[in-house]
Chain A
Amino acid sequence: MTVLIKNGIVIDPANNINIANDILIIKGIIKSIEPPGKLNTNNLDNPLIIDAKGCIVCPGLIDMHVHFREPGFEYKETIESGCQSAVAGGFTSVAVMPNTNPVNDNRSVTELILSLAKSKGGIKVHPIGAITEGLAGKRLSEMADLRDAGAIAFSDDGCPVMNNELMRRAFEYSKMFNLPLIQHSEMLDLTEGGCMNEGAVSTELGLKGMPTEAEDIMVYRDIALLEKTGGRLHVAHISSGNSVDLVRHAKAKGLPVTCEVAPHHFTLTDEAVRGYDTNTKMSPPLRSIKDIEKIKEGLKDGTIDIIATDHAPHDIIDKQVEYQNACFGIVGLETALPLTLKLVDEKILSMSDAIRKLTATPAQIFNLDAGNLSIGSEADVLIFNPDIKYSIDVSKFHSKSKNSPFDGWKVKGKVLHTLARGKVIYTDPDL
Chain B
Amino acid sequence: MIIPKNILGTKGLSKEEIVTILDAAEAFKEISTREIKKVPTLRGRTIINLFFEPSTRTRTSFEIAGKRLSADVINISGSTSSTVKGENLIDMALNLEAMNPDLMIIRHSQSGVAEMISKFINCPIINAGDGHHEHPTQALLDLYTIREAKGDLHGLNITIVGDITHSRVVRSNIYAMKTMGINVKLVGPPTMIPLGIENMGVSVSYSLEDAVLNADVIMMLRLQTERQNEFLLSSLREYSNLFCLTTEILKRAKNDVLIFHPGPVNRGIEISLDVIKSDKSFILNQVTNGVAIRMALMYLLLGGNNDSFN
Q: A: which residues have CB within 8 A of B? A: 198-207, 209, 275-276, 317, 320-325
Residue contact A206 to B88, C-beta cutoff 8 Å: no
Residue contact B133 to A205, C-beta cutoff 8 Å: yes
Instruction: Scan residues 95-139 of chain B and give those whose CB is less than 8 A from a CB of chain A.
Output: 108, 110-113, 115-116, 130-134
Q: How many residues of B contact A (CB 8 A)?
A: 24
The smallest beta-carbon distance between B189 and chain A, in angstroms, is 16
CB closest residue in chain A, given B90: A320
- 3 tightest Cβ-Cβ pairs between the two chains A and B: A200-B196, A206-B132, A276-B112
**B195 interface residue (CB < 8 Å to A):** yes
**B232 interface residue (CB < 8 Å to A):** no
In the assembled complex, which residues on chain A have CB atoms less than 8 Å from the CB atom of B130? 206
In the assembled complex, which residues on chain B have CB atoms less than 8 Å from the CB atom of A201? 196
| Selected contact of A275 from candidates B88, B115, B131, B132, CB within 8 Å | B115
Q: Given contacts A209-B194, A321-B88, list 4 more A-B pairs with CB under 8 A.
A: A199-B196, A206-B132, A317-B88, A320-B90
Per-position binary interface string of chain B over residues 76-91, scored 1 when its CB falls under 8 Å from any chain A CB and 0 otherwise: 0000000000001110
26 A-B contacts, Cβ less than 8 Å apart?
A199-B196, A200-B195, A200-B197, A201-B196, A203-B194, A203-B196, A203-B200, A204-B200, A205-B112, A206-B112, A206-B130, A207-B112, A207-B131, A207-B132, A275-B115, A276-B111, A276-B116, A317-B88, A321-B88, A322-B108, A322-B112, A323-B110, A323-B116, A324-B111, A324-B131, A325-B110
The smallest beta-carbon distance between B130 and chain A, in angstroms, is 8
Residue contact A199 to B195, C-beta cutoff 8 Å: yes
The smallest beta-carbon distance between A303 and chain B, in angstroms, is 27
**B56 interface residue (CB < 8 Å to A):** no
The smallest beta-carbon distance between A52 and chain B, in angstroms, is 43
Q: Tell me, in angstroms, the Cα distance from A203 to B88 when the chains sit together.
A: 27
Q: Tell me, in angstroms, the Cα distance from A325 to B131 when the chains sit together.
A: 13
The SS class assigned to the B binding surface is mixed
The smallest beta-carbon distance between B180 and chain A, in angstroms, is 19
Q: Tell me, in angstroms, the Cα distance from A323 to B89 when the chains sit together.
A: 12
Residue contact A321 to B111, C-beta cutoff 8 Å: no
Residue contact A207 to B88, C-beta cutoff 8 Å: no
The smallest beta-carbon distance between B231 and chain A, in angstroms, is 10
The smallest beta-carbon distance between B253 and chain A, in angstroms, is 28
**B171 interface residue (CB < 8 Å to A):** yes
The smallest beta-carbon distance between A402 and chain B, in angstroms, is 16
**B199 interface residue (CB < 8 Å to A):** yes
The smallest beta-carbon distance between B262 and chain A, in angstroms, is 15
The smallest beta-carbon distance between A326 and chain B, in angstroms, is 10
Residue contact B200 to A276, C-beta cutoff 8 Å: no
Q: Tell me, in angstroms, the Cα distance from A205 to B112 when the chains sit together.
A: 8
In the assembled complex, which residues on chain B have CB atoms less than 8 Å from the CB atom of A321? 88-89
The smallest beta-carbon distance between B85 and chain A, in angstroms, is 15
Residue contact A206 to B90, C-beta cutoff 8 Å: no
Residue contact B171 to A322, C-beta cutoff 8 Å: no
Residue contact B115 to A322, C-beta cutoff 8 Å: no
Residue contact A276 to B115, C-beta cutoff 8 Å: yes
**B168 interface residue (CB < 8 Å to A):** yes
In the assembled complex, which residues on chain A have CB atoms less than 8 Å from the CB atom of B131? 206-207, 324
Q: Tell me, in angstroms, the Cα distance from A198 to B194 when the chains sit together.
A: 9
Q: Tell me, in angstroms, the Cα distance from A185 to B182 when the chains sit together.
A: 43
Residue contact A207 to B195, C-beta cutoff 8 Å: no
Residue contact B196 to A322, C-beta cutoff 8 Å: no
Residue contact B111 to A207, C-beta cutoff 8 Å: yes
Residue contact B88 to A204, C-beta cutoff 8 Å: no
